[in-house]
Amino acid sequence: MDEAARGGSAAKRELAWCVADPHLTRDDPVLGLFKRFLGGFSSEGPGTLVILGDLFASWIALPGALAPYQTDVLEDLRAIKEAGREVIFIIGNRDYFVESLDPRPFSFAGERWDLAIPTVGRIRFEHGDLINTSDHNYQRWRVFSRSEAVKRVVAALPGKWQASLARRAEKALEPTNRAYKDYSPLPELERWANGVKADGCSTAVVGHFHEDKTVAAAGLQVHFAPQFRGIGPFLSVNAGGVIERVEWEPQNGGSVSTVK
């Protein structure tokens, strides 16, 4: 093999898989799909798994509030982390207090994370719900609902109340999320893209919108990650910085519907 071909194959080495917005619920057909995907990641995936937020339709990650199906998925993720892989969790608008989970299923949990690829650059991963800064109500809710004060109050509630709070939050957020998603925040997207570029990134990956497209905003390549439902689409990032859509179970066709 000559030099160029060797360089070529090194650039094709996968670095990360990125999965966005499964919105898993109890008795959800996608639960099985997601667990098979995690099994596949364990056996054939690269070193890093990025979960781009909204893992469950709504959840409060406090011990009394977790349902058995949620604990089960978190256990799979913890096993992947303990086997030496990097599990990155980007917090979405449906994920509460995940950074305080104990034992920790994630190597990192936060609002943004950058993958630095030598000679290629940095790729920013964010959920995407913070792009639209014109939605002041949502922005205030996001800050308030995630504050330490609210967390202390919620943590002091009995588990049953925490779980019912999670279900109510899901319902309450529905109209806001729909209105937010229907709006195409072009000026806000450009402003956000400028900030990401100022942090030294050339590319960004966002979920939340359940779109499947790539756009250029203020010179930043923005990949909108598809929602992981149905045929299980996800993104694969290689060492050349190329981001590709892959389908985990293309044979599913339209049999498992997507949700908003």
Q: Which helix (H) or strand (E) holds 50?
A: strand 48-51
Residue with Cβ nearer Mn ion (70 or 132) = 132
Nearer to Mn ion, 106 or 224 (CB): 224
Minimum Å gap between C-beta 111 and Mn ion is 12
Q: Which C-beta is closer to Mn ion: that of 197 or that of 208? A: 208
Closest approach, Cβ 177 to Mn ion, in A, equals 7
Q: Provide the binding-site residues for Mn ion, judged by CB under 5 A.
A: 54, 92-93, 208
Angle between helices 136-145 and 159-182 (to 10 degrees): 160
**Maximum distance among all Cα pairs of the chain, rounded to whole angstroms:** 65
Reduced to 3 states (helix: H, G, I; strand: E, B; else coil), residue 128 is: coil
With a CB cutoff of 8 Å and minimum separation 6, the contacts of 124 are: 112, 113, 114, 196, 199, 201, 203, 204, 205
Could you write out the three-class secondary structure of 216-245?
A: EECCEEEEECCECCCCCEEEEEECCCCEEE
Those residues whose C-beta lies under 8 Å from the C-beta of residue 176, and which sit 6 or more positions away, are 135, 137, 138, 141
Minimum distance of Mn ion from residue 55's CB (angstroms): 10
Report the nearest approach of Mn ion to the CB of residue 225 (Å). 11
Beta carbon nearer to Mn ion, 22 or 105: 22
Looking at beta carbons, which residue is closest to Mn ion?
208
Pairing of β 243-247 and β 233-238: antiparallel
Shortest Å, Cβ 51 to Mn ion: 12
Q: Which is nearer to Mn ion, 70 or 93 (CB)?
A: 93
Could you tell me the smallest distance in angstroms from the CB atom of residue 58 to Mn ion?
A: 11
φ and ψ of 184, to 5 deg: -100, 100
The CA R_g of the chain, rounded to the nearest whole Å, is 18
C-beta closer to Mn ion: residue 60 or 120: 60
